[in-house]
Structure formats: C-alpha cells, structure tokens
Structure 1
Amino acid sequence: MPRQLVVKNTILFKSKSFVAVWIGNVISELGGTLGTFCLSILVYQETGSPLALGSMWLFYFLPSLLLQLGIGPFIDKWSRKWLMIFSQWTRGLIFCVPVLALSFQSLEVWHLYIVQVIVGLITPIYTPANHAILPTLLHGELLLKANAMIDGPVRLMTFLAPIAAGNLLEYIGETLMLLIVVSLYVFSGSLLLFVKEKKEDVLVRRTWLSQFKLGISTFYKQKNLLWLGIFLAFVQFGVGATMVLNLPFITGDLGASFKEYGYFVASFPLGYVIGSSIVGFITYKSKRILLLSALAVGGLTYVSLSITTSLTVAIFTEIIAGVALAVFGAHNIAIFQKVVPNQMLGSIMSVRLLILRGVMPLGILFASTLSEVVEIRPLFFLIGFIIFSSAVIGLVLPYFSFLDGEDVEEKVA
C-alpha cells in the first residue's frame, strides 16, 4: 500500500467524528436491510398477497417523496448531527411496534404499514444530512477518501445483509431478528453522539420549487438529459415492480426457502459491484451502443426470469442484471456530468433523483395490481419486453445518435 494512502487512512481513523459516522453508516445499512427483509416476509406471510406487499412499498415511497419536496431548504438550517441521531433513534423506536405485536401474538398488517410510513418519512431527512455532515468534519483530499471509505462498506452490506437476513430468519425467527434491527439503529444513533460537528453559517439552498423549475427547463433544453432520463425511468419502473414480484416468485414459483431468497436478493448488488469494478476497463467505439446494449441485457434478464425454473439460474440472472445496470448507470451519469455545468449539477441531479424515484411507485402499483389477476411469470416477461424494446428503439433509430456524444460539449446555458 502506498505510503501516502497509509498516511491518509491513519489521519482519517484518528478522527473520532469520522469513525463514528463511518461505523454508523455501515450499521445503519445492515439494520435497514435486515428490517426491510423481515417486514416483506411478514407482510407476505400475513396476507399471501403481492398487492399487500406492493402496498407496503407504496407506504414507504409516497410519504418519502412528499416530504422530499419541501425538506431540502431546511436541512442546512438544522444540526446534521442531531437530525441523524433523531432519525436513527426514531427508526429503532418504530421497529419496536412489530416486536411488541409479535411478542403478544397480535400482529396485524397495519402495524407493518405504520413502520414503513415512518421509515419513509425519515429517509429524506437522514440521507441529505448524512451527505452534508462530512464536509463539516473533513476537507480536501481527506473528504474524497472518506466518501470512498464509507461507500465501499455500505455497498458491501447491500450484498451481505440479505444473506444474513435469510439465515437469521431461518434460525432465530422474526421477533429476535427485529430486536436486532432495533439494537442496530439505536447503536448507530448513539455512535453519532461522539461526532463533534462544527457550526457554520450556511446559506439556505434553493427552494425545491426553483430547483424543480430549473431541472424541468434543463431537461427540455437538452435532449441528452431528456432521453437519458426516460431510459432510466424504464429501469426504475422495473426495479419498483421487482420489489413486489421477487418474493412470491422465489418462495412460491421456485419453492425456495427464505434463506435462499436472501441469496437471490444479494445476487443483484453482487453483480452491481462487479459491474462497477470493470466498467472503466470496457472499451467501445459507440457510447450509445454500449449504454443501450447494457439496457437491453437488463431487459432480457427479466425475460429469463419469466421462463427459468431453477434458483441457481435465477441467481445468475440477477448477477448479470446487476452488471448490466452498473454499466448503463455509469455511462448515463457520465453524460449528465458532461452536459450540465458544475454550478448547476447539484440542482439538476436532485430533481433528476426525485423524478426517477417517482417512477418506482408506478412500477410497484403496476405489479401489485396486475399480480392479483395475472401470474408472475407473464409480468416478468412484459416488464422485460418493455425495457428491451425501449433499448432496441434507441439502438436502431438514427435519431438517438446524439447519445454518442456529438452534443455533449454543448453545455447548458
């Protein structure tokens, strides 16, 4: 390991504030994944209905989106440290609801929906506060290194946590598993008490309305951004649908256990990590062909799931989907970064994120509604066909040649 890197790591780990945030993020990701996994299982066990499972996700996303519309301008006015502590302790407290209900054998689905509503409301508070606190603790190259060190273990948790969740559920049951979730959130929030946050006078950011107007006008001015957003919306639609379909598909159609379902859930982030690590080594003559071919492969993975009868094949398919989405996502975001001037990037990306997250509930609603009258396999095929067809249209029609980069240097005015 180069001496300079060792020195930077040493300085970072001498900062108690950074260590607290770093460990807190990893523990939070683990707790969140375990909790979501367990809630999904409980809802499906209680109802046996994909519609009820979809409703659980809608209860998460819709309050989150509504709060995100107005919370942004206020995050910089409050203490990020105490916002994060409040968020983690509130998450821990709300997960006590199903713990108590299970203990007294009185669990009802609405208990689980309440948990999702509160967690959904907490997310747009915790996430921006988490991103904003690091610059008050570290500066310069140390800040870049710190972000990378936080992102790595968090991504690793998205792979390991579903496997851990599936095994824990098999061996200790839902009540003890949810107690672990409560403990992880309380511990994560308590670690943040050691953070020494520097008080800074920060100008209030743009209001959401001004961000939204800027984002919409920019999307319409630049066809690069408009069509990249549309293509990515197809992906997010599919992601929303799989939140409803994956559990009944794996445990029902394929007859797998909850532990095996955990392996399946972990396979996509594993593929994403692989894709992220190799994307820089992929050579290409046409960015459009590479980007949209990756999207087409992602669509075909849904088609593959619609016909497979093997859990092993399903897991391998999800790994391929993760690799394809990582390649598509990396080039998608790179074009945004080239087209949008740096001073506008934050506003544009925040609105882009809001729009894309808004598509996911549509996928959830689509899957949860149709799954009541249509079998899961045809729905996988339909979603895959939609995504694959959109990619083929982009590959075949000459109109989309601008994605190769001819317009990229033309910055937004």
Structure 2
Amino acid sequence: MRIFILIWFGQLISLIGSGLTRFALGVWVYRNTGSVTQYALISLFAILPSILLSPLVGVLVDRWNRRSCMILSDAGAGLSTLAIALLLFVGRLEVWHIYLVVGVSSTFSAFQWPAYTAATTMLVPKQHLGRASGMVQFAEATSRLLAPMLAGVLVVTIQIQGIILIDCVTFLFSLVTLLLVRFPQPKTTAENEVKKSWQLREFTYGWTYITARPALLGLLIFFAAINFLIGVVSVLVTPLVLAFAAANVLGTVLSIGGSGMLVGGLVMSVWGGPKNRILGVFGFTLSGGLSILLAGLMPSVPVFFAAAFIYYFGVSMIDGCDQAIWQSKVAPAVQGRVFAVRSMLALASLPLAYLIAGPLADQVFEPLLAPTGLLAGSIGKIIGVGRGYGIALLFVVVGMLTMLAIAFGYLYQPLRRLDDQLPDAIADEAFP
C-alpha cells in the first residue's frame, strides 16, 4: 500500500492545482462572454478527445508500463497548462485558445484514468479496493473543497496567471512521485495476452469482454444515462448559482460540495462500501437525484448548500462502489482495454449533454419562465419567474429523469444481482 499511497498523494496535489485552474478559467470565460453555451464548450473540449482516443489508449495501457502512461499524461497536461499561462502573460488569451489547449490536455489525460485504475488493482489487495477507491474520491473531494476557496483568494492576489503557474508546479510534483516508484506488472494468460501485432480485435477486446457479461453491460448503460443527466447539471450549476448570488457564493457552494465529497471519501475509505455494491450505486444515485430536484424546486443559497453536500457525498460513494465492482470483476491483465472502453462508453453521453445544456437553458427553459413566458402563470407560481428560474426548472426535469433511470436499472435483473451472480476475476490475497 505504501507505493499506492505515495502515488495517491502526488495525484492529490495535482488535482488541487488543476481545480484552481478549472475554477479560475470557468469564471473568466463566463464573465467575459456571458454565454452558457461558450462556457459549456470548455467541458466539451475537456472530455471529447479522451472519449475518442479511449480504444487506442486502452491497448497502449495494456502494452506499456502503466507508470510510464501516467508520467506521459502528467507531463503533457502540465505543458498544456503552461501554454495557457504564457498566453495570459503576453495578454493574448482568447476563448478559442482555451478550447484548443484544453483539448490537447485532454488528449494526454486520456492515459491517466485507465492506467491509474489498472495500476491500483495490482498495488492493492482485493479486499481493500473499496477503501482505495474511497481514497481516490477523497483526493477528488479535497480538490473540490480547497480549490474554489483558494482560487477566490489567489485570483485577487496573484491573478489567474499565478494560479496557472501553481498548477504547473503541482503537475511537476506528481511527476516526481511517479519517478520515485515502480509498478508491478500483471501476469498474462494465453486468453488475455496482448499481442505485438496491431489487430482489430485488440481494439474491440474491451467491448467483447463487457458484452459477454450482461451485468457489466447493464452497469455501463446505466452510467451512460446517469452521466448524461449529470453533464447537463454540471454545466448549469455555475449559471444557476450566479443567477441568485455573487461569485464568492458560487465558490462556497462548490466548496461545500467538495466537503460532502470529502466526507463521502473518508466514509468509503474507512468502511469500504456496502457488501452489495450495486445497491449502494442505486441508493446514492437516488439521493443525488433528489438533491438536484430540491435545488430546482427551491432555488436559493441555503438549498444550494444542502443540495451540493448531499449530491457530492453520494458521488464519492457511487464512484467508490462502481470502481470496486470493475476492479474485482475484470482480470488485471486486460483492465487497460476494458476500462478504456468502459470510460469511452460511459462518458460518451457527456459531449451531447454539454452541447445541448447551453441552448436548452438559453433558448428553451429560460424563456419559458421569463416574466412573460409560456409557463410563468403555471409552473412559475411554484418555482418562480425571472432570470435563473428556467435553469431551475431544467434541474427539476433532470432530477425526475434520474429517478426514472434508477427504476429501470433496478428492474434489470442481471444488473440488480451483479454482485452475487458475476464471479470475481481476482483472488482474495494481496498482490506481490
């Protein structure tokens, strides 16, 4: 576990730096453009390259040393962030520059998640995978908690250029931690050995592996649906909060969400998650859907605080349970390819969410609840009328659709009985 903890700590520091940059750039773009659509395009460019490259990345992660993949990812992402800093220093930064650099950074980052996840399986005993997943969620939560608060202070004192340079230093720190360790390599069998020739079946192996197991396919489809709904919400959180409060309140909302994720990560790290992990996924997804629904029905700062904490607490538990399921049910030697396909398909719905969230808010839902809007005299009497209330209505719709997706997932028997019916692919003992 010592090697895993050292790597985890390096990634934690890097996540905090990236969170600073993400917050600062998001506020900068929204304030300079006033457009939800242009703001949402940052999220699109941040994820689309990773999705498109996933089949190739999965093969490479299984071929290459997984530590080398993580080093490549951190180095490329750090250089991309440095490019934004240089453009800011010379006063030439424009929105399209951010799209381009974020896309390049996403290309390198595509290697990070499958390599990190597959390496964790080799470093951590199966019985502690839930706790390791909780630690990963704890790191993400720490970033979400600290980054908005720090960014709000630093953007005034050292400005956005200084924030981005701090991010570059955190990337360097994570690189050093990776250079100090060695990763064990998985044992291969005749069935899952990665061949040295570039054959089509290598790129389709992950898909074949998943489709041969209906429970994993059902889990993948479930998360594709949930991620689409989450994508819509994630784009619109900033415009919704800024419609009712100042930017410093937005930072507080995000920090409270981070504290919820932090507590969830701590609970997951100590507890390891419920014995039946798929029921944990369903239960905490339900609590997240209810929090989204609440934020839409009663849009106000206190409700945003409560909803953010509840939602992000559940995110830690959901991701921890989901991660442990995949790590225990998929053979370590093929996890690079399987996890890459899993990532590609589960996240494939996000670009669509990012593309439609802005137009839906700007052109459909906001006009519906304008003072003279079509629904001002009906739903407007329940939620409210004016700027931001249309986005609130969209949150209500997303919350209801989330609960519908949970119902369909629970009714699908292979998914509901995944933990009991699908055998584990790794042994109980610790790995060397």
Same fold (TM over 0.5): yes
Matched, 1:28 2:14: yes
Is the CA contact (8 Å cut-off) linking 1:294 and 1:325 kept in structure 2?
yes
> Judging changes above 3 Å, is the alpha-carbon distance between structure 1 residues 239 and 167 closer, same or farther for their aligned structure 2 residues?
farther
1:288 & 1:22 partners in 2: Cα distance? 25
SS across alignment from 1:105? coil
Letter of the structure 2 residue corresponding to residue 320 of structure 1: I
Is the CA contact (8 Å cut-off) linking 2:277 and 2:322 kept in structure 1?
no
Aligned length: 390
> Judging changes above 3 Å, is the alpha-carbon distance between structure 1 residues 94 and 304 closer, same or farther for their aligned structure 2 residues?
same
1:319 & 1:195 partners in 2: Cα distance? 36
Q: Return the match for 1:227 from 218, 228, 238.
A: 218
Partner in structure 2 of residue 50 of structure 1 = 36
Partner in structure 2 of residue 389 of structure 1 = 404
2:326 & 2:9 partners in 1: Cα distance? 32
CA displacement at 1:176 relative to structure 2: 1.9
Partner in structure 2 of residue 312 of structure 1 = 302
> Judging changes above 3 Å, is the alpha-carbon distance between structure 1 residues 117 and 233 closer, same or farther for their aligned structure 2 residues?
same
CA displacement at 1:112 relative to structure 2: 0.9
Q: Return the match for 2:78 from 92, 107, 112.
A: 92
> Judging changes above 3 Å, is the alpha-carbon distance between structure 1 residues 117 and 83 closer, same or farther for their aligned structure 2 residues?
same
User: Aligned ranges for residues 196-275 of structure 1 at < 5 Å?
Assistant: 197=182, 205=194, 210=201, 213-217=204-208, 219-220=210-211, 222-251=213-242, 253-257=243-247, 259-275=248-264
1:292 & 1:199 partners in 2: Cα distance? 34
2:153 & 2:70 partners in 1: Cα distance? 29
Partner in structure 1 of residue 394 of structure 2 = 379
Letter of the structure 1 residue corresponding to residue 355 of structure 2: L
> Judging changes above 3 Å, is the alpha-carbon distance between structure 1 residues 148 and 317 closer, same or farther for their aligned structure 2 residues?
closer
Partner in structure 2 of residue 299 of structure 1 = 289
Please identify, of 60-69 and 86-95, the stretch whose mean Cα deviation from structure 2 is larger: 86-95
Partner in structure 1 of residue 152 of structure 2 = 166
1:88 & 1:147 partners in 2: Cα distance? 21
Is the CA contact (8 Å cut-off) linking 1:241 and 1:363 kept in structure 2?
yes
Is the CA contact (8 Å cut-off) linking 2:215 and 2:422 kept in structure 1?
no
> Judging changes above 3 Å, is the alpha-carbon distance between structure 1 residues 265 and 238 closer, same or farther for their aligned structure 2 residues?
farther
Letter of the structure 2 residue corresponding to residue 387 of structure 1: T
Please identify, of 402-411 and 237-246, the stretch whose mean Cα deviation from structure 2 is larger: 402-411
Please identify, of 331-340 and 319-328, the stretch whose mean Cα deviation from structure 2 is larger: 331-340
CA displacement at 1:186 relative to structure 2: 3.3
Is the CA contact (8 Å cut-off) linking 1:164 and 1:262 kept in structure 2?
no
1:335 & 1:133 partners in 2: Cα distance? 15
Partner in structure 2 of residue 151 of structure 1 = 136
| 1:368-399 Cα distance to aligned partner (Å, 9 max, x none) | 2322313222221221121122224556xxx5
| 1:265-322 Cα distance to aligned partner (Å, 9 max, x none) | 23334323434555759989x9887654433332222222213332232021111112
Please identify, of 402-411 and 195-204, the stretch whose mean Cα deviation from structure 2 is larger: 195-204
CA displacement at 1:411 relative to structure 2: 4.9
2:211 & 2:200 partners in 1: Cα distance? 17
Please identify, of 358-367 and 125-134, the stretch whose mean Cα deviation from structure 2 is larger: 125-134
1:18 & 1:319 partners in 2: Cα distance? 26
Is the CA contact (8 Å cut-off) linking 2:62 and 2:334 kept in structure 1?
no
Letter of the structure 2 residue corresponding to residue 304 of structure 1: L
1:109 & 1:71 partners in 2: Cα distance? 28
SS across alignment from 1:371? helix
Matched, 1:182 2:182: no
Q: Return the match for 2:108 from 109, 122, 127.
A: 122
Letter of the structure 1 residue corresponding to residue 229 of structure 2: G
Partner in structure 2 of residue 4 of structure 1 = none
1:98 & 1:22 partners in 2: Cα distance? 26
Percent identity over paired residues: 26
Is the CA contact (8 Å cut-off) linking 2:256 and 2:309 kept in structure 1?
yes
Letter of the structure 2 residue corresponding to residue 123 of structure 1: S
Letter of the structure 2 residue corresponding to residue 161 of structure 1: A
**Ranges in structure 1 where 5+ consecutive residues have no aligned partner:** 1-7
CA displacement at 1:243 relative to structure 2: 3.0
TM-score normalized with structure 2 length:
0.73
1:200 & 1:330 partners in 2: Cα distance? 24
2:221 & 2:263 partners in 1: Cα distance? 25
> Judging changes above 3 Å, is the alpha-carbon distance between structure 1 residues 331 and 31 closer, same or farther for their aligned structure 2 residues?
closer
**Ranges in structure 2 where 5+ consecutive residues have no aligned partner:** 367-390, 426-432
> Judging changes above 3 Å, is the alpha-carbon distance between structure 1 residues 338 and 85 closer, same or farther for their aligned structure 2 residues?
closer
Is the CA contact (8 Å cut-off) linking 2:52 and 2:344 kept in structure 1?
no
Partner in structure 1 of residue 387 of structure 2 = none
Q: Return the match for 2:87 from 92, 95, 101.
A: 101
Is the CA contact (8 Å cut-off) linking 1:76 and 1:202 kept in structure 2?
no
Letter of the structure 2 residue corresponding to residue 240 of structure 1: G
Letter of the structure 1 residue corresponding to residue 162 of structure 2: L
Is the CA contact (8 Å cut-off) linking 1:264 and 1:315 kept in structure 2?
yes
2:277 & 2:131 partners in 1: Cα distance? 31
2:147 & 2:60 partners in 1: Cα distance? 32
Is the CA contact (8 Å cut-off) linking 1:218 and 1:412 kept in structure 2?
no
CA displacement at 1:326 relative to structure 2: 4.2
| 1:207-259 Cα distance to aligned partner (Å, 9 max, x none) | 795466455455555543343333322321122223321111122x12222x3
Is the CA contact (8 Å cut-off) linking 2:40 and 2:358 kept in structure 1?
yes
Letter of the structure 1 residue corresponding to residue 174 of structure 2: S
CA displacement at 1:120 relative to structure 2: 0.3
